[in-house]
Chains A and B, each alone.
Chain A
Amino acid sequence: MTGFAWTRAQPLDETAVRTSGGRVDLVVVAEMVAPGSRVLDVGAGDGELLDLLATTRGCDARGIELSREGVNAGVARGLAVIQGDADVDLAHYPDDAFDYVILSQTLQATRRPRWVLEQMLRIGSHAIVSFPNFGHWRSRFDLVVHGRMPVTENMPIAWYETPNIHFCTIRDFVELVEVLGARMERAVALDSSGHRVRFNMPWWVWNLLGEQAVFLLTRK
């Protein structure tokens, strides 16, 4: 695998970053979305990203969320969120229903990550996926030196309770994208302090330094 040319997206204004409550990955995701587009956020949580997209990007933003509490909070905020399961409900959306389908920090919690990605690329002309990188040096350190499953700020739950059943590394993900025959339009890695890994580097460096990764994919 070769290095990937990192391109700079349109930055959001400061208010946007503030309203995102410091979650840089959400800002990175939002910056990949063209203003005014139709967006489906899969695993919308309490609607934080939807709110960001609607208020700062003028998007027609909708969400799917598994937890009842998350859905009810989102709907009470006036957002279009449905209670549903990404592993099942994506099948009910027609082809090309959205410009972007977003999976933010949720891929690792799906039962069928490959199927979910395929559905995302069917439903939307773009797919944006952000996930914690299991190949980050700290995870490797925990495994190799301590001999234990890593527990970090981004992966705070012990192995026996975590809903995250399908962890992967950046390299693993890139390989899956190739298997799916999708095109990588853009990729961003965030280090442990939430800063972008700024330089063009070979994948193995990103895989070591990136604690989270955000990919923008399209169909080939």
Chain B
Amino acid sequence: MDRLINIAAPPLDTEEARARREADAPHSPVASFPGETLRLDAGLVLHDLQIAYQTYGEPNAARTNAILVCHALTGDQHVANVNPVTGKPGWWETLVGPGKPIDTERFYVICANVLGGCMGTTGPSSTNPQTGRPYGLDMPLVTIRDMVNAQAMLLDHLGIERLLCVAGGSMGGMQVLQWVASYPERVVSALPIATAARHSAQNIAFHEVGRQAVMADPDWHGGHYLQFGVTPHRGLAVARMAAHITYMSDQALHRKFGRRLQDRALPTFGFDADFQVESYLRHQGESFVQRFDPNSYLYVTRAMDYFDLAAEYDGVLANAFRGSKTRFCVVSFTSDWLFPTQDSRAIVHALNASGAPVSFAEIESDKGHDAFLLDEPELSDITRGFLDSAAKTAGLPVARDR
């Protein structure tokens, strides 16, 4: 097995130890809610919730300029600063920062690690205060709505009553939709990108493959690997490799790698990474396991699987947005086959049916689902225009000329 998938990641090396520390003592401000409980969709109650978050910019006097950014499956709260675990730039620095479309000189931008995550918000790798040991699988399953309810507690903690905008891509977009459904009066505008109102059967299937890879790794130990001082890094790496394919497009893979060989002129007639695309995927798998908790991967993928917004509203998605005054801008990408345009269109049709003001743009890109994280000038222009008009409606000062 080791020879076939040669992923060099010794258990709990220094980087991993660093990542592990983030779960309890993150490099981020932490909001804790002693004595408060969070009632979960699973029917259980979570005590001693902790939320790790980052903020950028300053709230105005009326506290009307706050924008909540929601991160995707393997993202975190480090939107626009150097990531303390990877040392890489924030995951949405293309869009968030001073003078950027989500302008931190105008807006007060907040991003929290999701419930079930591993970067400081309560999740399976956090220490269970009742046992003093990591939760592991004792952590109750969480849903997208639970994540949003936790974020609402954070906003109360920060003294933000209304959000000028909630924005996010992929699973972040699911949270955006849930925000408007759960707290319509708290959201002035919503920017769901490359997302869907329900996770498709195909996407649940991909997630199941990933989870099975993690759970099939003997180092998973039924979810209690931390107590054994190991981590199912092989399983998680395979999960990441499979998932990574779904984030790209055939076209982009061809453009980037084609059938080119990796540092060799001829195939080796073995199972080494002959092709550049193999080498790339292995690298993606290896670097992912350095920063992400395997149990978190199980929990957060599960939360996405369970997401079906219409189900909460008698199967009619339009009912989720009925009476909402929130302005929407829905964005999809032509080559995204994980959250294809038809998913976005279904959201738009529901919004039309409910009478909500909505814009919808499909952006031409060959970069697949990942396009929402990459430098897409049209996404920048649309985001800027949408936020400018939302800010105008909310009576904020106009943007200064750039």
Contacts and interface: CB of A to CB of B under 8 A. Distances in A.
A72 B361 contact: yes
Given A76-B381, A76-B382, A82-B348, A60 B357 contact: yes
A79 B359 contact: yes
B225 to A, nearest CB: 46
Interface in A181-216: none
Contacts of B267: none
Contact of A78 (B330, B353, B358, B386): B386
Interface stretch (A7-15, A91-99, A113-121, A143-151): A91-99
A80 interface: yes
B349 interface: yes
B329 interface: yes
Interface in B367-402: 378, 381-382, 384-386, 388-389, 392
A93 B389 contact: no
Interface string A75-107: 111111111100001001110010000000000
A75 B349 contact: no
B355 interface: yes
B36 interface: no
A62 interface: yes
Nearest to A78: B389
A166 interface: no
B353 A75 contact: no
Contacts of B364: 68
B362 A75 contact: no
Interface in B298-337: 327, 329-330
B352 interface: yes
Interface residues of A toward B: which range?
Answer: 20 to 34
A83 B362 contact: yes
Contacts of A84: 345, 348, 360
A32 interface: no
Contacts of A75: 329, 359, 361, 382, 385-386
Contacts of A97: 352, 355
A71 interface: yes
B353 A68 contact: no
B359 A81 contact: yes
B363 interface: yes
Interface in A160-194: none
A92 B352 contact: yes
A68 B362 contact: yes
A93 B378 CA distance: 27
A60 B325 CA distance: 12
A72 B382 contact: yes
A216 to B, nearest CB: 23
A75 B364 CA distance: 15
B33 to A, nearest CB: 38
Nearest to A82: B360
Residue of B345, B352, B353 contacting most chain A CB atoms (<10 Å): B352
Nearest to B348: A82
A169 to B, nearest CB: 33
A71 to B, nearest CB: 5
A183 to B, nearest CB: 25
B357 A62 contact: yes
Contact of A72 (B349, B381, B392): B381
B401 to A, nearest CB: 16
Contacts of B362: 68, 71, 83
A83 B360 contact: yes
B352 A93 contact: yes
A174 to B, nearest CB: 31
A72 B352 contact: no
A197 B358 CA distance: 38
B79 to A, nearest CB: 22
Residue of A83, A89, A92, A93 contacting most chain B CB atoms (<10 Å): A83
A84 B360 CA distance: 8
A75 B380 CA distance: 11
Nearest to B350: A92
B192 to A, nearest CB: 13
Contacts of A76: 381-382, 384-385
A49 to B, nearest CB: 16
A97 B389 CA distance: 23
B170 to A, nearest CB: 20
A62 B361 CA distance: 14
Nearest to B356: A80
A84 B355 CA distance: 16
A62 B357 CA distance: 7
A72 B357 contact: no
B31 to A, nearest CB: 34
B361 A83 contact: yes
Contacts of A83: 360-362
B392 A78 contact: yes
A111 to B, nearest CB: 19
B357 A80 contact: yes
A77 B349 CA distance: 22
B360 to A, nearest CB: 4
B327 A80 contact: yes
Closest 6 CB pairs of A and B: A78-B389, A76-B385, A82-B360, A76-B381, A92-B349, A75-B359
5 contacts: A68-B361, A72-B363, A78-B386, A80-B327, A81-B359
Given A72-B382, A76-B381, A97-B352, 14 more contacts: A71-B359, A71-B360, A71-B362, A75-B386, A77-B385, A78-B385, A78-B388, A81-B360, A81-B361, A82-B330, A83-B360, A84-B345, A89-B349, A92-B353
